[in-house]
Amino acid sequence: MGEYIAVQTKSGDTYDAYLAVPEQGSGPGLVLLQEIFGVNGYMRDMADRFAQEGYVAIVPDLFWRSERRVELEYDEAGVARGLQLAGELDFALAVDDIDDAVTALRALPGQAGGVGVLGYCMGGLLAYLSALTLQIDCAVSYYGVGVHEYLGRAAELQVPMVFHLAELDAFCPEPARRAIRNAFAGNDRVRVYEYPEVDHAFATHGRDSFDPVSTAMAYSRTLELLRQTIGPRYDLSALWDQHIHHEFVTRDVPATMATMVDEPYVNHVPTLTGGVGKTDLARFYADHFVHANPADMRAIPVSRTVGADRIVEEQVLCFTHDREIDWMLPGVAPTGRYVEIPLVAVVTFRGDKLYNEHIYWDQASVLAQLGLLDPSGLPVAGVGQSRKLLDKTLPSNELIPNWATGVPVPTP
């Protein structure tokens, strides 16, 4: 998606920086700061990713004074060379270079709004140092090495910032992490998140330490800060409504796919139906979803929670099983029975496009309502699930055998 540009320094020199611009051509600015491995494939991938989110993203080549356009692998030789280059780096000059990148970013015709700085490892420390001195709007530090050594300046931090720390990070052990937490405990502009059972560089795909679950959580928290401080702000609720309109009303597969990123995925968790990638998902929608829903299918909305990059939708799905429903009941011939089932959709966005959907429901309840599962003696609720969800006054605990004969506990 991106290209290299030349950044002019205050001293009159130039260095290279990788630049990725969103599809719409403009957006807030984001400076991404490298690990010790240079502006490698991972850093370019992340710039492209943030461009998808609507940011004009730039990755300055901070090692340019020692060697230009360094790209190191995550192997023994790469680590050795990266540590050598990091040892040669003058951090004060690096912050000056970052300032020059900010200036170059603001001068671009497509940069609109604020500017944030985000760094990984060595870049995580530089993001913090940048937030202390530069004219930026927010900062994010992923497992910054050495942050605890600069906490004497913590009171100088005046912009919103997020720190992502790893429990098993030998470069930032518990005493250092505790010092960071304590230093910013009274600063409501700062959030310090710690991720259990993960190591340094847990967000770097391609490394043994990569942990996708913690990475996804940290990414959402990062976007929350960026959206709140520099934007862009998308109406995710309206985007989701548009998507489901094409799924269930117009039943238009190309229009449905147009609301999604180029490589989306959908997972109906109980039945493992859906698709990964544009080709498989379009085929799934066309052959097994949009034209395979009952004529009377409707959804009763219960709640909708909208976050920085995702929606959690809670609803009651109602339908008559008048046809084979491939995505929910694959291979099951129509029974003609009526079903009401609570359903939860967790929908993630990248920018203004849907990225993935995780859809959950209780399959045992569906099968029981269709007469395909005998719930006798099993902790399975049928239509009572949806009725209780819509009316909290209905009785609870009826599946607990001794509930009715139990002794009530006095309330204080």
Q: Which of 169, 199, 309, 326 is catalytic?
A: 169
Q: Which of 61, 97, 100, 121 is catalytic?
A: 121
Distance (Å, whole) CA 34 – CA 273: 38
> 388, 6, 29, 22: which is closest to 226 by C-alpha?
29
- Given phi > 0 = left and psi -120 to 50 = alpha, else beta, which region is 404? alpha
Return the DSSP state at 410. Answer: P
How far apart CA 89 and CA 62 sit, in angstroms, is 8
Q: Which residues pair with 361 in a beta bridge?
A: 343
Report helix, strand and coil shares of the chain as percent, to nearest 5: 35, 25, 40
Residue 169 annotated among the catalytic residues of the structure:
yes
For 306-351, give the secondary structure using H, E and C.
Answer: ECCCEEEEEEEEEEECCCCCCCCCCCCCCCCCEEEEEEEEEEEEEC
Is-catalytic flag, 121?
Answer: yes
Helix (H, G, I), strand (E, B) or coil at 15: strand
Q: Which of 164, 200, 243, 268 is catalytic?
A: 200
Is there a catalytic annotation at residue 75?
no
* Distances, alpha carbon 222 to alpha carbons 54, 182, 231, 309, in Å: 14, 21, 12, 10
Which residues in 200-309 belong to E strands, given as ranges? 260-268, 273-276, 298-306
At 83, which helix (H) or strand (E)? Answer: helix 76-88
What's the DSSP call for residue 411?
A: P
Residues tagged active-site? 121, 169, 200
